[in-house]
Structure 1
Amino acid sequence: MTDDRVLNAYSARAAEYASVLGSIEDTHELDRIRIERWAKQISGPVLDAGCGPGHWTDFLHKRGVNISGVDLVPEFIESARSRFPEASFRVSSVRALDLADGSVGGVLAWYSLIHLAPSELPQVLVEFRRVLRPRGHLLVGFFEGGANELLDHAITKAYCWSVHWTSELLQDAGFEVLDIETRQDHGSRPHAAVAAIARNA
């Protein structure tokens, strides 16, 4: 199962990952602008789904966003709580969030779904739709490429997605796609982000 593979792989290297990629200074400036602008339009709680070492949760918390971070990996949550004690973190799988239906205004899934097998992604998007309020906001960041294309990842097996395929999955899960962003930085894999809102039930 993907959860077991990801949990084992990241648990073994959580400290290394946090030291290399666990600071907001390690992120792209355009991503910081994008995510902050996205969060400003949200009313109600925000969930950082697959928060990793917690830097995006802390980034938005410091900007006044009512946000909590969840991650499958206990070592990430322990590190996040230690490094960012004023923010809220807990262990949870994105497959089954311990939240009531329609209880959040926004879900951020920034490169946190790339390890899911393509067949598993629709289930997770439906779970995001479940916890979001009608017209609640979702922002998904991922590596852009051929649909369901495997990529060489340092931690464990991961996938590229095409923006067209991702948009279709979001629509099937009950979302309306608002905008799509793609970017190719020198020396980096192609980046994509899709913003969507939950359609009224």
Structure 2
Amino acid sequence: MIRIALADDHKLFAKGLEGLLEEYDDLLITGLYPNGKELVDEIATDLPDVILTDLNMPVLDGFGVLEYAKKNHPEIKVVVLSMYDEEKIYKKCMHDGADAFVLKDADPDELVYTIHEVFEGRHLPNFQRVIQQANQSSFFDAFREKFKLSRREVQIIKLIKEGRQNKEIADDLSLSVQTIETHRKNIHSKLQVSSRIELVNKVQDMHL
């Protein structure tokens, strides 16, 4: 179970994100905080695995949260959520030690993918650029858009087509078996299939 603390002063966004993330069996929101000060006061006694933090907040902003977490609890992963696609902001977050930077208008699956990646210990300093580069593939765009799939889900579909089992996929991607099972459940739901055979038949003509 990945324990997540979320700091964002926009209540509707925070509650919506909480509901979205808790649809995943291995994600648990331990607290919602309207500013960074309330978050850092709380995590002093109840450490999450991952912090999701907005940048612009009253009392203590996201940069303050990032500085506090990396100084006092470096084992906590920090994912910055921002509506500003600006190079200087991105670079400052990465310089200050953010584990990932995700735009608020990104596909929800990209955020879930990022949470799993940083939790598993893979640093994603170029996450924003990875999304942009991936989107340059017209086929990738069309496939993902049609079925609302994340990059990770497409990657797992490719391995399933190759006949890999969950344990093999987990080993190949350095993820837990539970994480792979969650991804497969989501893939089946999005593609509206109920078995590996149905999945393979549905994507057999797609040149992944």
Range of TM-score over shorter length: 0.3 to 0.5
User: Which has the larger helix fraction?
Assistant: 2
- Alignment TM-score, normalising by the size of structure 2: 0.38
| TM-score, scaled to structure 1 | 0.39
Specify which structure has the higher proportion of strand. Answer: 1
Larger Rg: 2
